[in-house]
Amino acid sequence: MIVLIHSKCQKVVRVLKGEAEINISATQCTKALWELAEIFPDEIVVWCEKEFENELNFVYYPEIFHHDLIMASYAIKTEYLPDAIGYIDQLPFVNVNQKLQYPTWRMSADVGGIKGKTLLKFKNLLSNIEDLNLVLNSIAKLGQQHGLFCYSSPLLIKEGISSSNFKIKTTASKKELFSFVYLHYKGIRTWLLLWCFIKYENSFPLEAFLLAILKRKYFKEEMDFSDIKVESIRPSKNLRTFDVLIPTLGRKKYLLQVLEDLKFQSLLPNKVIIVEQNPDPDSQTELQELKEKNWPYKIIHHFTHRTGACNARNIGLAEVEADWIFFADDDIRIAPDVLAKSIAEIGRLGVYCLNINCRQEGEATVFHKIKQWGSFGSGTSIVKTEFCKNLAFDEVFEYGFGEDIDYGMQLRNAGCDIIYHPELEILHLKAPRGGFREIRSAPWEEDQPKPSPTLMVYASKYYTHEQLRGFKNELFLRYYFKQEINNPFNYLKMMRKRWGKSEEWADKLMQSNEVKDEREGKESRITNQESRS
């Protein structure tokens, strides 16, 4: 391990290999990084502000950098970009949870590290940049799109030295913010940022905008990590048992197909948990085959008249006992080797959640590289059970949409990163009816809220103030070209009204959910008291 100690990102103080100090020719930080990567390609190159040199917690570094495509840092006192980045980026990587290891491209020069040979992949593109913060954030932003796993990790430093003890300051000026956005995002995002500054910051940073659009963009630059072998040292590769959870409603033919596919898997599940729903109070199960046929795995079958994706999955989660859970849809086809390969890839990558590529017939794959994923597929993901046991699908999303991305955020905030794998594929038949949602009208349908109130709930739970404003402005802009009102003033009036309705309904949903949780909590306590007595 090589440690570069710097002073305020400006100059090199010393370079250490173990306890020995070594000499290098570079005195400027970014040049020193490239030089160290050249000399020590097989070492982790660590950077650290001299103030925190004695706080480095090397004991956890093998766990943090458990394979060669990982970059991690931690903002103790400084970070590069201000929260205004949220105006143009609403992905989960922007609003960082500082309390645990969290996926993000937002790097800090306070402390961090990356493998030397991985760092070298960026040298030709970024070696002319002197700003250490810009280099680190550009590496992570560009690298994450092409398979570099990037994290904020408090384990880099000793316990008790964390950002909660300091007020984090941002170092990027408006010019640097606009420049970064133009370099790493589509051009329209720079215009949106300018508009948000005018509207919300009482600022008109025209010079920053104009200087930014004169720079060379990195947005479409390709990075090739194919020659870097990824083989995690984490012990999860020994955990191979899994249960399958399938909620279903009125899709007997499709569900039985899924069960047949699971029967021929080269790595069989321990059990398949099926939560069958039918809203007709006089109905009975239509899945007699579950008992009549001999299956090579145990089947747990729940039948309920209460419909809803969240409730069904929560019922099923209580039955899971294996190392991993495969959250599956009831209208997919699975090749015999998919689940064995998935478990093997989980071990190789050292991850706790794998999002499998789920495509319809004839549909092209959009993303072709293994990467950190900004979403979560609740019908196409394998997750380590220990994370799921402490989480639940939030029933505020029942009969709306967003329960999957909400569950994904719960996973990230529990320390579980979500990784998309394009080479592991399942076929989505996209059955026209049924599944796990009952077809019913939403209670807010007549009010025509925009966005959906459940998406507003999600935004309220996880977005920063700036992200929520950016979401609103982008929604208004995109939807203008999909509706019939041409007069922009009439359109804005209409959309503000619909946004307000969405906020009202979101508040109602969250309040009703809080009341429900409190009621169920009381009922649970009463039941526990009765059972004890």
CATH number of the CATH domain containing 372: 3.90.550.10
How do residues 233-243 score in pLDDT, each as one tens digit?
997 666 789 99
Has residue 28 got a pLDDT over 50? Answer: yes
Question: How sure is the predictor about 512, in pLDDT bands with cuts at 50, 70 and 90?
Answer: confident
CB 110 within 8 A of CB 76: yes
pLDDT band of 163, cuts 50, 70, 90: low
pLDDT digits (tens, 9 = 90+) for 365-387: 999 999 999 999 999 999 999 99
162 has pLDDT over 90: no
Q: Residue 88: which of 206, 189, 17 has the closest Cα?
A: 189
Structure tokens that stand for 508 in this block: 């109602």
The residues pairing with 301 across neighbouring beta strands, listed in sequence order, are: 274
* CA angle 141–81–417, rounded 5-degree value: 45
What is the average pLDDT value for the chain, to the nearest integer? 92
- Averaged pLDDT for residues 8-27: 95
> Does 188 map to a domain?
no
Average pLDDT for 92-104: 97
Report d(CA 118, CA 143) in Å as an integer.
Answer: 10
Q: Which of 270, 301, 368, 377 is nearest to 332 (CA)?
A: 377
Q: What's the confidence (pLDDT) of residue 220?
A: 80
Asked if residue 204 is part of any domain, the answer here is no
Residue 526 has pLDDT above 90, yes or no: no
Looking at the fold, whether 41 and 138 belong to one and the same domain comes out as yes
DSSP output for 382-394? EEEHHHHTT----
Cα gap 499→458, rounded to integer Å: 14
The residue count for the chain: 533
Shared-domain flag, residues 423 and 449:
no
Tokens of 468: 């929520």
- Name the domain count of the chain: 3
Overall average pLDDT of the 348-368 stretch: 94
pLDDT at site 522: 46
Domain identity same for 475 and 365: no
Inter-CA distances, 255 with 58, 265, 270, 326, 478, Å: 50, 16, 18, 15, 37
Does residue 518 lie in a domain region? yes
Measure the N-to-C terminal CA separation of the chain; round to a whole number of Å: 59
User: What sign does the CA torsion over 469, 470, 472, 476 have?
Assistant: positive
DSSP 102-119: EE-S---SSEEEEEHHHH
Can you tell me the distance from the alpha carbon of 352 to that of 519, in angstroms, rounded to the nearest whole number?
Answer: 33
Phi, psi of 419 (to 5 degrees): -115, 130
Gap between the Cα atoms of 236 and 414, Å rounded: 17
3 state SS of 367: coil
What SS3 class is residue 248? strand
Whether residue 18 is found in the same domain as residue 84 = yes
User: What is the structure's pLDDT at 236?
Assistant: 65
- CA torsion sign for 500, 491, 482, 201 is negative
The torsion angle over the Cα atoms of residues 258, 264, 266 and 272, rounded to 10 degrees, is: 40
**Region 151-165 average pLDDT:** 84
405 and 491 fall within a common domain: no
Instruction: Give 532's pLDDT tier (boundaries 50, 70, 90).
Output: very low
pLDDT, residue 435, reads: 53
Tell me, yes or no, whether 401 lies in a domain.
yes
In a domain, 221, yes or no: no
Query: Is a pLDDT exceeding 80 seen at residue 253?
Result: yes
**Does the residue 184 lie in any domain?**
no
Q: Kindly state the tokens that stand for 450.
A: 């925009």
- Give the pLDDT confidence score for residue 438 in this predicted structure: 57
Q: Minimal CA–CA distance to 136: which of 91, 72, 190?
A: 72
Rounded to a whole number, what is the largest CA-CA distance in the chain? Answer: 81
For residues 109 and 132, is the Cβ–Cβ distance under 8 A?
A: yes
93 neighbors 104 (Cβ within 8 angstroms): yes
Reply yes or no on whether the pLDDT at 214 is more than 50.
yes
Are 147 and 46 contained in the same domain? yes
Determine the pLDDT at residue 434: 55
Q: Of 138, 172, 206, which residue constitutes the final position of a domain?
A: 172
Of 146, 172, 198, at which residue does a domain stop?
172
Q: Give Rg (Cα) of the chain.
A: 25
Judge if 404 and 468 occupy the same domain: no
Same domain, 268 and 369: yes
- What integer pLDDT is reported at residue 524 of this predicted model? 46
Phi, psi of 330 (to 5 degrees): -95, 10
Residues 266, 125, single domain; the answer is no
From CA 443, how far away is CA 458, in angstroms rounded? 18
Which DSSP helix (H) or strand (E) runs through 140? Answer: helix 132-144
The answer to whether residues 81 and 16 belong to one domain is: yes
Q: Which tops the pLDDT comparison, 161 or 176?
A: 176
Is residue 308's pLDDT more than 70?
yes
Whether pLDDT at 324 is above 80:
yes
Task: Specify whether 311 is located in the same domain as 417.
Answer: yes
- pTM surpassing 0.75? yes
Residue pLDDT, tens place only, 54-72: 999 999 999 999 999 999 9
The encoded tokens of residue 359 equal 């495509």
Crossing angle of the two packed helices 174-184 and 132-144, in degrees rounded to 10: 30
Residue 179, in any domain of the structure: no
Q: What is the per-residue pLDDT for 525?
A: 41
Tokens 């029933």 found at: 395
Flag whether pLDDT at 82 surpasses 50. yes
Which of 368, 397, 428 lies at the terminal end of a domain, its last residue? 428
Determine contact, residues 473/196, Cβ cutoff 8 Å. yes
Domain contains 229: no
Higher pLDDT, 430 or 493: 493
Are 60 and 164 members of one domain? Answer: yes
Containing structural domain, residue 351: 235-428
- How many Cβ atoms sit within 10 Å of the Cβ of residue 72? 24
- Percent of the chain residues topping a pLDDT of 70: 93
pLDDT band at 389 (very low <50, low <70, confident <90, very high): confident
